[in-house]
Amino acid sequence: MKTSFIISMLLTLIGAYLKITHSEGAETLLIVGVIATLIFIVSAIYEVRTSKRIRIPPFNGIQLLYLLQGIAGTHGIIFQSIMEHTPGMRHAMH
């Protein structure tokens, strides 16, 4: 579990750095990193939920809002990246 977190974090950070420096392949690496992070989050939630050693309260509305906020932020990053690199859309955004 710890290894998957480190890998997803490194992919996302390297992808973000390459995106900032306008390097080729940055979008792909960033998207792979975001997907790896989402996979990590789902697997971590599953592990905590099925653990016999961890006692957690029932899933509540605040946790759902945090989860939706993370998903919305991820979609915003991907949408902006696509819109910036689609011909003709750069002017539509500004």
Instruction: Report how far Cα 91 is from the mean position of its chain's Cα atoms.
Output: 27
- Render pLDDT for 49-88 as a digit per residue (tens, 0 to 9): 788 887 766 666 777 777 777 777 776 776 667 667 666 6
Assigned token pair, 73: 């932020």
Instruction: Report how far Cα 3 is from the mean position of its chain's Cα atoms.
Output: 16
The closest alpha carbon to 42, from 62, 71, 21, belongs to 71
Full-model pTM: 0.56
